[in-house]
Structure 1
Amino acid sequence: MTPLVIETPHGPAHAHPHLVDEPRAGLVLGHGAGGGIGAGDLVRVSETAQEQGVSVVLVEQPYRVAGRRAPAPAHQLDAAWVAVIARLREHELAGLPLVVGGRSSVARVACRTAAATGAVGVVCLAFPLLPPGRKRTPVSRLPELDAVPVPTLVVQGLRDPFGMPPEGPGRTIATVAGDHSLRSEHATIAAAFRDWLATVVPGGPARG
């Protein structure tokens, strides 16, 4: 399916809608720093959301659309993300409570912009809490999680070299076997997301 091309302050982004009939909510997910929207955990969460009556849009950041693998600076990622969601709120996801998230770097983007996008929940797949391999003491990204004003789900591999975020007010940590890639335990990831979603967007699937 041809993606939607959405203009942002830092170039065009691509949005891939997977819409359901009579949705009860919308979910916008983004990819990790060096990966794409075909990552297995993103696909499984997307499929689970649709099964639960939630319309999904998978977003490719402008740097990926332009063919670059190195991510753009944080402020550019944030600005592009906010622009994409504003456009989706006008059309494909109009009037719906919105859950946002993604894996790794875009999980951070979703946290930083949760208030600006009006999200009712944030999903973080493999949140990169601590940059690994640094000789100096790394700077924790925990403040980004702590600042999220809405319920947050973090799905983290037990062997993730980026560390394990702690539980916190409004924050659920679901641990699975594996590392930062979350290539395994997709059924466990789906179950954790489904259970958490029911607490954020009550009512059950809108369709049979």
Structure 2
Amino acid sequence: MEETEGAKSAGAVETVETDAGRARITWHRAKDARLVLAVGHGAGGGIEARDLQALARTLPGHGVTVALVEQPWRVAGKKVAPAPKTLDTGWRGLWPALTAPGLPVISGGRSAGARVACRTAAGLGAHAVLALGFPLHPPGRPEKSRAEELLASGLPTLVVQGGNDAFGRPGEFPPGPYELVEVPRADHGFAVPKRADITQEQALEIVTGGVAQWIASLG
């Protein structure tokens, strides 16, 4: 693996070779970090997602180093994500770099990245799981539930879900040993309509505040 010059600062980029190809980590380091939150992107976008960027800006001030992870397919410039098995391979290959700071690591991601985190967290020894916009089912297909993935890790888990997420609204989630934070009126990418009773900034504050509070409760 290679780390760019100045890699101890926020926004430093590290490349990691995995069995699925070359991946990339952008580090946003806390001054006195007690945890690392590693978050992967979804199948339709990258680490520029509004929720991932909001977490990277906010959590270092709470003693949490944020590692924004780009899967090999995204680094290679491909537009279509590979099969789940390949995504899991890439994530596992990144794990040694994520644990290198010697801190507990929360395995997280948004959408498809959340599924990867849920599937692999227990086997990797993750401290907990963060699922942003968990795709409980394909839009319009509630019978195709992925709840088993969410429930399988056995680790402390937080789901942050938009109130109008077509991939699964908060009320559709089954009971389970996890916490759920709802972002009112938000869609799958946590965007809210212009006429919503909350602003886009307030929606993101619900995301970051909910995550920060949950992490603090982990001890």
Same fold (TM over 0.5): yes
Residue 159 (str. 1) matches residue 169 (str. 2): no
Q: Larger deviation: 71-80 or 16-25?
A: 16-25
Which residue, 112, 124, 136 being the options, matches 1:129? 136
Give the Cα separation in 1 of the matches to 2:54 and 2:17: 27
Instruction: State the AA in 1 paired with 2:217.
Output: T
Mapping for residues 61-100 of structure 1, pairs under 5 Å: 61-90=71-100, 93=101, 95-100=102-107
Give the Cα separation in 1 of the matches to 2:120 and 2:12: 27
Per the alignment, residue 195 of structure 1 pairs with 213
Per the alignment, residue 206 of structure 1 pairs with none
Compute the displacement of 1:162 (Å).
0.9
Given the two structures, how large is their TM-score scaled by the length of structure 1?
Answer: 0.89
Q: Is the 8 A contact 1:166 1:173 kept in 2?
A: no
Per the alignment, residue 20 of structure 1 pairs with 30
Compute the displacement of 1:132 (Å).
1.3
Greater RCO, 1 or 2 (C-alpha within 8 Å, sep 6+): 1
Per the alignment, residue 57 of structure 1 pairs with 67
Per the alignment, residue 205 of structure 1 pairs with none
Give the ranges of 4+ consecutive aligned residues of structure 1 lying more than 6 Å apart after TM superposition: none
Give the Cα separation in 2 of the matches to 1:132 and 1:179: 12
Q: Is the 8 A contact 2:12 2:28 kept in 1?
A: no
Given the two structures, how large is their TM-score scaled by the length of structure 2?
Answer: 0.84
Give the Cα separation in 1 of the matches to 2:30 and 2:207: 21
Q: Is the 8 A contact 2:158 2:214 kept in 1?
A: yes
Percent identity at matched positions? 44
Return 5+ residue gaps in structure 1 as ranges. 203-208
Give the Cα separation in 2 of the matches to 1:2 and 1:20: 12
Q: Which secondary structure state, in structure 2, belongs to the residue aligned with residue 102 of structure 1? A: strand
RMSD of the TM alignment (CA)? 1.5
Instruction: State the AA in 2 paired with 1:43.
Output: Q
Which residue, 152, 156, 172 being the options, matches 2:179? 172
Q: Is the 8 A contact 2:114 2:130 kept in 1?
A: yes
Query: What does the per-residue CA deviation read over 1:67-102, in whole Å, with 9 as the maximum and x for residues that have no partner?
Result: 112111111100110110122323xx2x21111101
Q: Is the 8 A contact 1:167 1:173 kept in 2?
A: no
Residue 42 (str. 1) matches residue 52 (str. 2): yes
Q: Which secondary structure state, in structure 2, belongs to the residue aligned with residue 23 of structure 1? A: coil
Q: Which secondary structure state, in structure 2, belongs to the residue aligned with residue 113 of structure 1? A: helix
